[in-house]
Amino acid sequence: MKYGNFQDDLSSFSVSNPETPRPWINYLGNRRLRAFISQNAGGLMWYLEPYTRRISRYHYTAAPGDRPGFYIYLRDLNSDVVWNPHFAPTCTPLDSFEAVHQPGISSFKSLKDDIEVSIRYGIPPDDDVMLWDINIINKSNKKHSLQAASYLEFGILEFMREMIGWCYLKGQFSLKYDHDLNAICYDYHVFEAPYSPEMAFSSTDKCAGWDCSRDAFIGRTGSLESPTALKKHNDLSNSDLPQGGHACATLGINIELAAGESKKIAYFFALAPEKEKLNSLLTKYQDYSNVFSAFEDIKSFWDKRLRVLQVKTGNEIIDRFINIWNPYNCVVALETARSISTDHMGTDALRFRDTTQDALAVSHIDLEFAKEKMRQVLAQQTSDGGGCMTFFPYTNRQTTDSPHRSDNTVWPIYTIEAIIAESGDSSILEEVIPYRDSSEATVYVHLLNGLKHIYMRRGPNGLPTMFHADWNDGLALFEDEAAESVMLGFQLVYSCKKFAKIAARQSEKDDIQWCEKVIDEMTKILNSEKVWDGNWYRRLLLSDGKLVGSASSSQGKIFLNPQSWSVISGVGGLENRSQKVMHEVKKYLETPYGLTILAPPYAGFPEPEDPPKGSNAGVGENGAIFCHANTWAIIAECLLGNGDRAFDYYQKLLPENIISQVGEDHYEREPYVYVSSIVGPGSDNFGKAGISWLTGTASWMYVAFTQYILGIKPSFEGLIIDPCLPKSMKKVTVSRNFRDCRYEITIFNEGKKGAVALEVDNISITGNLIPPVQDRKVFQVRCYC
């Protein structure tokens, strides 16, 4: 590949050219202190939520520029050359460069004039410190005198208050180098701050000069590219910042290296609720051996999580995605929601429906974490059963512009079901969670109320109404809150089917009956002439009688989601409509890079002759290849037994496969994670990727491949093995942890189409379910399908 390559044995992606089309980032962090970092060490750090606890700055509006970040400057005192081992911001040419992203760690290795520098950045699982671990080797045959200087730029922890009130708030914190602690201490006492932690920046070696003032480090006419403080020998001005202002953490360290000699040093940022804890972190990490062992902890943290499910399919692109990058992407998305990335500016926090979907694919990787997120989500439900769009769990705030999405409460059932299936433990249903407005209820009642909330708000045709929008934000453009959503109708049926099983487990007969009534009622309407367009299902029934997603329209004739969900919900069984609608999907929505969300895109809105409104044609919800929505088409094709088609849709959206067709410079985004959408054929920029990392695509793609194509699906009763493989994939091996046992599964694809024969430890079992067993730890499973 043009800018770098995968290194599967190291679970990493190595960037060889620092000038990638956009910042290609990685996420670091434990569940509290977190950061993202690019292939140039650009990025920012936050604690819990970047809106109110943003520690360092990042300049969004300068994209694709990628400043500032976690910088090390080096200055050779003999030659006066200043460079960054991570290339930017000086961009001094390097003799060699490599940036490596892997789960939880980003590292750099470069050579400049015989000085080799390796740096790795990471945040250990148990301590709130960001470590910059540096090894410098003098590869020449003469002595070198070097000066190292760190740069981390601080701002106001509350992002919006910094934007609005900087001129006053800049005087409400101060920074000072403390000689005894060998640390720059950041004293934060901003008026009405929701959070004021103790923070400091330190190093393993005694510093030989410092700057807390950005003005002093950069200088009046300088810049991060050429800071005044590094223009002359030892020119750090030992500036403190007692009055506040633009702040940075620069610690200078002098390094003398004889020929062939090397030296390890580390810089680190530390945060704690009180001084005593902060000081103990400083003491701990000023001892380099603790820095080293912290990186071992980060590696084992991720190894343990990724080991839960490992596959060998014979296709290295799929294997590296399923074994490393896709589950990693899922966990990062759940940790970060839609809050912060190079696209998201950190003004958002958790999202009711998005976080719920993210947790779906994490329940087997980290069950407790998935549960914790679901508790936070359900606590945002109101007592009438409705969910909110976004909220800040750590400040108990909702975003003021949080519009109502009618689908919010359809999703938690999928994830709670997955949590119970994974663990075999349904006690989560009995947990009592408060409602956002008043009172409280068990998780079971939260789920049921969520469904009732959707059902109670039906329109004149009997389908659930849209409010601002359903899953598809773009439909808010129709400005018809009473429009009825066909997609949501299918989802309601699917959720009621799932909930009926949960109700049966709890012996709640009335609730089972309610679910059956809703399923029956909705199924009739969804298959009626109001919704069936002749060849596919429509998308919306507008309150003035107009139809969206109909062959009778000149734009937006067919939408992807209603077709996929008609299959998933089982509603489309009538007269073999399921096979038909998916055939039409292929006919009208397929492109070389995946399925578009609708066709043709809206040129003018709502009629073609009107001026365009909302997303440009082919962009986002207006006709892009919406990757998130493609996942449901893959699942639908598997349910119909169309293994070849499901696989074709799946592998098309693997970033490497699209990049091999359009090239990195056009695609732009990281090859190792999913994006939310790819510009569709309705645009001249067809094939350009959209928002990366933080997308429901990650979770659902993982579910689609592991639970539907491979067919390894936890259920209340045990582990189901029901593959739907493409003809080309003859043998797959899967290692899967499930309820404290490990299943070593070999699937032999004999083209039996739906029929599965299972052997567990050489004993044939009937059906496709392996019931849970407590007394054995490793099972050998053979599956013939």
| Residue from 49, 153, 354, 521 in contact with ligand GLC (CB under 6 A) | 354
Closest to ligand GLC by CB, 614 or 663: 614
The side-by-side arrangement of strands in the sheet containing 769-770 is: 712-715, 718-721, 769-770
Q: Does 472 bind ligand GLC (CB under 6 A)?
A: yes
φ, ψ of residue 497 in degrees (nearest 5) = -65, -45
Q: Does 495 bind ligand GLC (CB under 6 A)?
A: no
Amino acid, res. 300: S
576 burial class (0-12, 13-18, 19+ CB within 10 angstroms)? exposed
Closest to ligand GLC by CB, 509 or 613: 613
| Residue from 71, 87, 285, 471 in contact with ligand GLC (CB under 6 A) | 471
Q: Does 473 bind ligand GLC (CB under 6 A)?
A: yes
How far, CA to CA in Å, does 107 sit from each of 7, 97, 135, 266? 14, 11, 11, 13
Q: In the chain, how many H helices and how many E strands? A: 19, 42
- For the segment 716-755, give every residue that binds ligand GLC (CB under 6 A): none
303: three-class secondary structure by DSSP:
helix
Nearest approach in angstroms of CB 473 to ligand GLC is: 4
- Within 10 angstroms of residue 648's Cβ, the number of other Cβ atoms is 15
Peptide bond into 655 cis (omega under 30): no
Nearest approach in angstroms of CB 412 to ligand GLC is: 14
Q: Which residues pair with 27 in a beta bridge?
A: 36
Candidate ranges 80-88, 442-450, 471-479, 733-741; the one touching ligand GLC (CB under 6 A): 471-479
Strands of 273-318 (E only): list them.
Answer: 309-312
Q: Does 338 bind ligand GLC (CB under 6 A)?
A: yes
Nearest approach in angstroms of CB 626 to ligand GLC is: 7
Q: Does 162 bind ligand GLC (CB under 6 A)?
A: no
Closest to ligand GLC by CB, 267 or 471: 471
Nearest approach in angstroms of CB 333 to ligand GLC is: 10
| 42/68 Cα distance (integer angstroms) | 5
Candidate ranges 273-281, 469-477, 552-560, 654-662; the one touching ligand GLC (CB under 6 A): 469-477
- For the segment 603-622, give every residue that binds ligand GLC (CB under 6 A): 621
Q: What x-and-dash track marks residues 620-659 binding ligand GLC by CB under 6 A?
A: -x------x-------------------------------
Closest to ligand GLC by CB, 16 or 402: 402
- Within 10 angstroms of residue 705's Cβ, the number of other Cβ atoms is 26
Closest to ligand GLC by CB, 326 or 676: 676
Q: What angle, rounded to 10 degrees, do the helices at 326-336 and 288-306 form? A: 110
Q: How far is CA 762 from the centre of its chain?
A: 40
Candidate ranges 233-241, 394-402, 466-474, 549-557; the one touching ligand GLC (CB under 6 A): 466-474
Strands of 260-321 (E only): list them.
Answer: 262-272, 309-312
Peptide bond into 771 cis (omega under 30): no
DSSP string, 188-203: E--TT-S---EEEEEE
Q: What x-and-dash track marks residues 664-693 binding ligand GLC by CB under 6 A?
A: ------------x-----------------
Q: Does 279 bind ligand GLC (CB under 6 A)?
A: no
Q: Are strands 741-748 and 778-784 parallel, antiparallel or unpaired?
A: parallel
700: three-class secondary structure by DSSP:
helix
- For the segment 690-709, give every residue that binds ligand GLC (CB under 6 A): 695-696
Nearest approach in angstroms of CB 317 to ligand GLC is: 24
**# binding residues, ligand GLC (CB under 6 A):** 12
Q: Does 555 bind ligand GLC (CB under 6 A)?
A: no
Candidate ranges 173-181, 256-264, 472-480, 582-590; the one touching ligand GLC (CB under 6 A): 472-480
Query: If we measure between CA atoms, which residue out of 433, 410, 437 comes closest to residue 356?
Result: 410
Closest to ligand GLC by CB, 405 or 446: 405
Collect all residues with Cβ–Cβ distance below 8 Å to 412 and sequence separation of at least 6. Answer: 356, 374, 377, 378, 446, 447, 450
Nearest approach in angstroms of CB 602 to ligand GLC is: 15
Candidate ranges 379-387, 420-428, 468-476, 477-485; the one touching ligand GLC (CB under 6 A): 468-476
Nearest approach in angstroms of CB 329 to ligand GLC is: 14
Residue with smallest beta-carbon separation from ligand GLC: 473
Closest to ligand GLC by CB, 106 or 615: 615
Peptide bond into 606 cis (omega under 30): yes
Cα 510–Cα 516–Cα 520 angle in degrees, nearest 5? 150
* Token pair 């290609």 in the structure block, residue: 24
| 712/491 Cα distance (integer angstroms) | 23
End-to-end CA distance of the chain: 36
Per CB under 6 A, residues contacting ligand GLC are 338, 353-354, 471-474, 621, 628, 676, 695-696
